[in-house]
């Protein structure tokens, strides 16, 4: 596809998520409204009749209302849309397991929802409704009503449609319970059989839209206040960029040995002490507000309102932020109803200092986390913005601090659902959930335009072979045999001990293909894969034969299954532990008992992208590549994680490099 | 493995999860304590010196403390455990991507955590600590200290160890932030590359343990109050059993046509009306409590304190529960501080009625959900227990109602994390989180002993081909070719139109293998897989040739990619839409352009269990089975979802049936 088409596709995907959220939210809202009104009318009528002591009429009215509603619902279901009966959740669940059954996700269904007076819940129907809306959108409207658009053709495949329906199901739960995070988790835990990180984010977006629609938080965001936090994303990605640079510098210093490491730590420690002790001298003392429950200035404990150098009755607001434990600082920044506790200049200094210190501190040779510095920087930024906007906004500055912290975290970590829940659990205030979701979404989106999440960057910088969930686009133009490199070392199924020891010495491969050769089979064929650790255990056991013959049964008697169990790191057998003398190298050993006869294998003409997906999804360590045509050796090569790394692939096929 | 070994393995798995939770919780607690004490001492010293106006000494003390702490931390890191520096999260992440790198997850690491005065957070170290504890446990202690146990050998494989480390990482976040649900989500979203439902549950268990340890909620549970809710699980699974029976009865009735459906609906509607109108007559009127903010008895609105037949100043408590909207009933039952609002007998009647009505109502032909009836039944059960225990317990009856609802939901739905979040979002009270988690865990465990979740039961009852995440044990004894059934219909790569039309008419297969034959290749070999829908589009296009020749380029010119896009359900081409006359059946068509040349394939000797995992994980619809030895037709058969269903497999190999 061309670039513009990919762009169109991505825009469309998110537009659909938005539309599903909006429609499900509206349906949920009107559904609630209808249920409340109809049920309210029914109960009001009954109780009014009872007030006039017309008990039999009251029962007649009550049962009559119930009966009419039930018959309408049943008739709709029985004649028009039989699939609408029941909960709908099992159907959605089976569909997302790719059952390929043709369920009724049609347009008639949502009409069938009537507020019958039964002891039934609304979450099943809402989930089904959400899925139907998603399916309708995915099909590009109904052909019947001439609502097909040409650019919807990108969605005519199974995967996209199932993704949309997952979003719809999550939106249904979110609308039924006003529980957006719960909706995402419901889709994850109960409904979907496959799950990708990207889907988590899109579901989160959809339920955020539902939450916003439902709680009508639009008035909060009218004056563009939420938009400001998008900048948090920029700061977050800027933070990542700086952390990356600083870490690269540090790694040069740290390589020079422990002494330099400690020197660096001492330098940073002194810098931190100077900043946090020196800077509070710059600000003026503030008089304590009256009517406080806590002591001011607080001296004996580590808390709010530090006295520092100030006379009694005054406090130093910068010292409360810098010369304090992290937890107390966060508590101070998030505290509500204390609008004038911190000056504008104080917050600005605090933000700059914490931002810079956080960046230079991470990466020195002590254990450290990233959350707290990022939360601190984000909270001071948010409180700064909140104080600046104080005159235009009704929101509390403490709330602004929380949203600022959320935007920084979203920009740095690029997590959505888990951050949302962690922040909620930290602050114990569920009412700000929709705002929090919006801010996280905005900051993640903004930051994603610049670079990757901070953990991914560190993983990459450390050179760890991390496999992405998706295959790189250029892999589609390659086949599996294109990336097979190096000479292949294979063993015969009954192999000479010397050959095995030599191969183990020569390479550090973890898996070796085992080939059945005549006389054990008619033509050479792939028997399976033997692991290095198992080979070592087998050689240690020294059950060798003089002739080329099968001794598998003897081996099985001598070993137990747990002899081959994986040892702890650094505790397994090593090649040096073997004591194979000259004579023994000429003997034979039967590899059949330790060979895994069902290794995952792909044909050499398999697309590399598909092979990568298989490798990643199943969590393999080795994958055999077998030839397509007979008459050649029965194995072409073995692919490992390193063969799928972009550096290796692009090294072999430099013309595919998109940056050249 | 024998049964006793499997049992041992499961017990061990959960014991480890428990131990990880306990240790990480304790480490987190002492860590917090140490940080608070050291930092508190440091700040106290500084501010005391400042009070005496010894400013330089104050700075010296402050900077000195920082420096000493920093040097201790750095020295530990630099000389003893270099891997302990930094956040630790990227390392854990890369390890769980199966990078197979040998990270330092050793025993020395947790010692390296010192409360240095830097701007660093504790979540990175806590995550690393959790992972280390998990790894140590998984390795069966350190061999150095002679702590190896024989029965730990089951854990000597990669998968179990990675599962443990995932649990450890989640426990770390839970301990750092006291955010148990956030910890689970963090492990899911950021850390783990593979995720199974079972792992979600175990992570949840671990973080629940951490939460309980941290909040020291043990005193709440001392008198065995939490244990009572295990019975909710029994009720929940009993509910599932009854729903299953009732649904089977209903499906017989419903099959007789729409009229019977509506009759059933009318009957149930009348029954519901009678119950909810008739039963409140049985209870006595209760005098209104004094000092209420709401109107009592409430008449004009649908809310609390229904007057029903009672004189002014009195209310009927059963009517408040039965003759009300569902939302109001839930609100009434969950309401706190209203201990004497409902009588014991009222709650008992309410529980029985709602339990029975809920069961008979689900499955009639109207849209319905399961959550609300289950919540209602559970809440009345919980409030009943709460009222019974009123004299022994300090907990509010509203809280008991919530826990009862949670236990019923956990028993019916078998979800943990999502239910937890949904209930939290419903009640907006985060402080009950640890209790809620415990109750959900107990009820799910109890219910799992009896049957499967209600949605799974409905999916199975409806006969939908749902693939479980794990392969059945007996599949290990079979290979892929054992379940291939029926004659294979394959096309040549340039095939006669008549043959294709005949094959499409004869079968309803969705995929057909395409075989390259001479003269297009030397020997017959598998070219790929052609889909039924694509074949239909191709035939509709009528680009046929008289001779057996390649016409692929012409076909590619005539068709666009979106002609083959998947149509909406019921909108694709059908066989009847084709108009192929007698002459055309003798012509040839080139199938190369529509053949997927990289179908996922397995060798016929591949273990069926492994093939099933591949099929499920990649979400395939067709899987080719290729022969192991050359000289035979290049494809043995095609496996679809139905071939992996237990009924099919056990039908072919009845001797494997475990129930015979």
The pLDDT tens digits for A435-477 are 777 777 777 777 777 777 777 777 777 666 777 767 777 888 8
Furthest-apart CA pair in chain A: how many Å? 110
On the question of pLDDT at A548 being above 50, the answer is yes
Q: Which of B79, B126, B177 sits opposite A258 (nearest CB)?
A: B79
Q: Do A188 and B565 touch (CB under 8 A)?
A: no
What is the distance in angstroms between the Cα of A551 and the nearest Cα belonging to chain B?
Answer: 22
Q: Which of A55, A93, A628 sits opposite B455 (nearest CB)?
A: A93
Q: Which residues does chain A have within 8 Å of residue B126's beta carbon, measured at their own beta carbons?
A: 369
For A267, name the nearest residue in chain B, comparing CA atoms only: B67
Please name the residues in contact with A475: beta carbons below 8 A apart, sequence gap of 6 or more.
A607, A608, A609, A612, A649
What is the distance in angstroms between the Cα of A271 and the nearest Cα belonging to chain B?
Answer: 9
Task: Centre a 10 Å sphere on the Cβ of residue A150 and count the other Cβ atoms it contains.
Answer: 7
What's the CA gap between A186 and A183, in Å, rounded? 5
- Dihedral of CA atoms A420, A424, A430, A436 in degrees, nearest 10, equals -40
What's the CA gap between A239 and A242, in Å, rounded? 5
Most confident stretch, A172-176, A230-234, A640-644, B465-469: A640-644
What is residue A625's DSSP assignment? E
Q: Is residue A340 helix, strand or coil? A: coil
Q: Is residue B514 helix, strand or coil? A: strand
Q: Which residues does chain B have within 8 Å of residue A193's beta carbon, measured at their own beta carbons?
A: 467, 469, 616, 619
Across chain A, mean pLDDT equals 73
Q: Do A156 and B567 touch (CB under 8 A)?
A: yes
Q: Are A138 and A154 in contact (CB under 8 A)?
A: no
Q: Which of B178, B367, B630 sits opposite A125 (nearest CB)?
A: B367
What percent of chain B lies above the pLDDT cut of 70?
65
**Domain B221-461 homologous superfamily, CATH:** Clc chloride channel (1.10.3080.10)
CA-closest candidate to residue B69, choices A266, A328, A264, A274 = A266
Q: List per-block mean pLDDT (blocks of 10 residues) for chain B, which spans 660 residues.
A: 71 80 77 67 73 76 74 67 62 64 48 47 70 71 48 61 80 76 76 68 77 58 48 66 69 66 72 75 74 60 63 75 72 72 80 79 62 79 78 70 81 74 72 74 76 72 69 81 82 87 84 84 83 84 79 73 58 73 84 84 86 80 82 83 83 76
Task: Centre a 10 Å sphere on the Cβ of residue B553 and count the other Cβ atoms it contains.
Answer: 11
- pLDDT digit string, tens, across residues A379-432: 888 888 877 776 666 667 777 888 888 888 777 777 777 777 777 777 767 667
For B330, name the nearest residue in chain A, comparing CA atoms only: A121
CA-closest candidate to residue A514, choices A498, A526, A497, A502 = A526
Q: Which of A58, A372, A421 sits opposite B182 (nearest CB)?
A: A421
For A262, name the nearest residue in chain B, comparing CA atoms only: B74
What's the CA gap between A162 and A202, in Å, rounded? 13
| Interface-testing mutation among B113, B246, B320, B568, with chain A (most A C-beta atoms within 10 A) | B568
Task: Centre a 10 Å sphere on the Cβ of residue A342 and count the other Cβ atoms it contains.
Answer: 25
**Which token pair is A341?**
């506790």
For B299, name the nearest residue in chain A, comparing CA atoms only: A47
Q: Which residues does chain A have within 8 Å of residue B197's beta carbon, measured at their own beta carbons?
A: 189
**Which token pair is B615?**
């099929």
Question: Cis ω on the peptide bond leading into residue B519 (within 30° of 0)?
Answer: yes
Q: Do A128 and B367 touch (CB under 8 A)?
A: yes
Q: Do B462 and A46 touch (CB under 8 A)?
A: no
Rounded to whole angstroms, what are the CA distances from A205 to A19, A141, A159, A170?
11, 22, 19, 10
Q: Do B421 and A630 touch (CB under 8 A)?
A: no
Q: Which residues does chain B have within 8 Å of residue A621's beta carbon, measured at their own beta carbons?
A: 98, 100
Q: Do A177 and B325 touch (CB under 8 A)?
A: no
SS3 readout for B276-334 = HHHHHHHCCCEECCCCCCCCCCECCCCCCCECCCCCCCEECHHHHHHCCCHHHHHHHHH
- Per DSSP, helices labelled H in B462-496 are none
Pick the CATH number of A223-461 from 2.30.110.10, 1.10.760.10, 1.10.3080.10, 1.10.10.10: 1.10.3080.10
The number of residues making up chain B comes to 660
- For the beta sheet containing B511-516, the strands, ordered from the edge strand earlier in sequence to the opposite edge, are B491-492, B511-516, B525-531
What's the CA gap between B638 and B75, in Å, rounded? 62
What's the CA gap between A483 and A398, in Å, rounded? 55
Q: Which of A119, A190, A424 sits opposite B455 (nearest CB)?
A: A190
Q: Is residue B72 helix, strand or coil? A: helix
Instruction: Give the pLDDT of residue B223.
Output: 42
What's the CA gap between B604 and B480, in Å, rounded? 5
Given CATH 3.10.580.10, say whether it is the number of domain B476-656.
Answer: yes
Cα of B391 vs its chain's centroid, Å: 38
Residue ranges of the domains in chain A? 3-216, 223-461, 476-656
Please name the residues in contact with B58: beta carbons below 8 A apart, sequence gap of 6 or more.
A277, B46, B47, B49, B50
| Interface-testing mutation among A369, A515, A601, with chain B (most B C-beta atoms within 10 A) | A369
SS3 readout for A124-168 = HHHHHHHHHHHHHHHCCCCHHHCCCCHHHHHHCCHHHHHHHHHHH
The number of residues making up chain A comes to 660
The top-level CATH class assigned to A3-216 is mainly alpha
Q: Which residues does chain A have within 8 Å of residue B430's beta carbon, measured at their own beta carbons?
A: 424-425, 428, 430
Measured on CA atoms in the order A587, A593, A597, A600, is the torsion positive or negative?
A: negative
pLDDT bin (cut points 50, 70, 90) of residue A564 is low
Q: Do B125 and A367 touch (CB under 8 A)?
A: yes
- For the beta sheet containing A601-603, the strands, ordered from the edge strand earlier in sequence to the opposite edge, are A601-603, A623-626, A637-639
A vs B: CB pairs below 8 A: 571
On the question of pLDDT at A34 being above 50, the answer is yes
Q: Which of B48, B118, B422 sits opposite A186 (nearest CB)?
A: B422
For residues B514 and A246, the model is more confident at B514
pLDDT bin (cut points 50, 70, 90) of residue A263 is confident
Please name the residues in contact with B423: beta carbons below 8 A apart, sequence gap of 6 or more.
B402, B405, B406, B409, B436
Furthest-apart CA pair in chain B: how many Å? 110
For residues B600 and A9, the model is more confident at B600
What is the distance in angstroms between the Cα of B422 and the nearest Cα belonging to chain A?
Answer: 5
ipTM over cut 0.90: no
For A66, name the nearest residue in chain B, comparing CA atoms only: B269
CA-closest candidate to residue B233, choices B72, B395, B438, B2 = B438
What's the CA gap between B642 and B331, in Å, rounded? 46
**Which token pair is A367?**
């254990």
Q: Which residues does chain A have within 8 Å of residue B371's beta carbon, measured at their own beta carbons?
A: 121, 123-124, 176-177
**Domain B3-216 shares a fold with domain B476-656:** no
| Interface-testing mutation among B99, B368, B408, B417, with chain A (most A C-beta atoms within 10 A) | B368
What's the CA gap between A298 and A315, in Å, rounded? 8
What is residue B476's DSSP assignment? G
Strand A511-516 relative to strand A491-492, pairing: parallel
């Amino acid at each position: 596809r061309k670039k513009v088409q990919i762009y169109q596709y991505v825009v469309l995907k998110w537009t659909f998520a938005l539309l599903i959220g909006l429609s499900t939210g509206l349906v949920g809202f009107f559904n609630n409204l209808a249920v409340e009104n109809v049920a309210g009318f029914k109960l009001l009528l009954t109780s009014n009749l009872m007030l006039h002591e017309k008990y039999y009429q009251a029962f007649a009215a009550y049962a009559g209302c119930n009966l009419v509603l039930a018959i309408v619902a049943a008739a709709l279901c029985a004649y028009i849309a039989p699939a609408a009966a029941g909960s709908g959740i099992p159907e959605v669940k089976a569909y997302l397991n790719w059952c390929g059954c043709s369920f009724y996700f049609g347009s008639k269904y949502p009409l069938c929802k009537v507020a019958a007076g039964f002891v039934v819940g609304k979450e099943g129907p809402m989930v089904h409704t959400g899925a139907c809306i998603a399916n309708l959108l995915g099909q590009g409207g109904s052909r019947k009503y001439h609502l097909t658009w040409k650019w919807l053709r990108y969605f005519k495949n199974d995967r996209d449609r199932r993704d949309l329906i997952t979003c719809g199901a999550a939106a249904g739960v979110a609308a039924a319970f006003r529980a957006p995070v719960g909706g995402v988790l419901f889709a994850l835990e109960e409904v979907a059989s496959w799950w990708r990180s990207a889907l988590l984010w899109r579901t989160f977006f959809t339920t955020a839209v539902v939450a916003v629609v439902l709680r009508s938080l639009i008035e909060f965001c009218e004056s563009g206040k939420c938009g400001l936090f998008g900048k948090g994303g920029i700061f977050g990605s800027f933070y990542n960029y700086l952390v990356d640079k600083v870490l690269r510098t540090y790694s040069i210093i740290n390589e020079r040995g422990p002494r330099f490491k400690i020197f660096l730590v001492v330098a940073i420690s002194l810098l931190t002490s100077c900043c946090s002790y020196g800077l509070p001298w710059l600000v003026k003392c503030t008089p304590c507000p009256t009517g406080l429950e806590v002591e001011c200035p607080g001296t004996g404990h580590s808390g709010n309102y530090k006295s520092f150098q100030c006379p009694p009755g005054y406090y130093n607001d910068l010292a409360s932020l810098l010369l304090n434990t992290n937890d107390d600082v966060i508590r101070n920044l998030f505290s509500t109803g204390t609008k004038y506790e911190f000056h504008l200049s104080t917050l600005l200094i605090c933000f700059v200092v914490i931002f810079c210190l956080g960046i230079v501190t991470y990466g020195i040779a002590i254990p450290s986390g990233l959350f707290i510095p990022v939360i601190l920087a984000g909270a001071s930024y948010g409180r700064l913005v909140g104080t600046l906007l104080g005159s235009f906004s009704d929101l509390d500055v403490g709330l602004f601090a929380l949203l600022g912290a959320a935007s920084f975290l979203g920009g740095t970590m690029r997590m959505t659902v888990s951050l949302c829940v962690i922040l909620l659990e930290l602050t114990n205030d569920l009412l700000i959930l929709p705002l929090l979701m919006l801010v996280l979404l905005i900051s993640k989106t903004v930051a994603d335009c610049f670079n990757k999440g901070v953990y991914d960057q560190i993983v990459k910088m450390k050179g760890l072979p991390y496999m992405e969930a998706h295959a790189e686009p250029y892999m589609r133009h390659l086949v599996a045999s294109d990336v097979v490199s190096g000479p292949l070392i294979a063993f015969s199924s009954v192999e000479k001990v010397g050959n095995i020891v030599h191969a183990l010495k020569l390479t550090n491969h973890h898996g070796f293909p085992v080939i059945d050769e005549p006389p054990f089979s008619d033509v050479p064929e792939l028997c399976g894969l033997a692991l290095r650790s198992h080979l070592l255990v087998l050689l240690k056991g020294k059950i060798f034969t003089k002739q080329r013959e099968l001794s598998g049964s003897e081996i099985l008697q001598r070993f137990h299954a747990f002899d081959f169990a994986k040892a702890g790191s650094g505790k397994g057998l090593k090649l040096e532990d073997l004591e194979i003398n000259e004579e023994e190298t000429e003997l034979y050993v039967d590899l059949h008992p330790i060979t895994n006869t069902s290794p995952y294998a792909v044909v050499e003409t398999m697309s590399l992208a598909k092979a990568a997906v298989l490798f990643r999804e199943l969590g393999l360590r080795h994958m055999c590549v077998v030839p397509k045509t007979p008459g050649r050796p029965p194995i072409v090569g073995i692919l490992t994680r390193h063969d799928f790394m972009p550096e290796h692939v692009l090294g072999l096929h430099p013309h595919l490099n998109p940056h050249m």
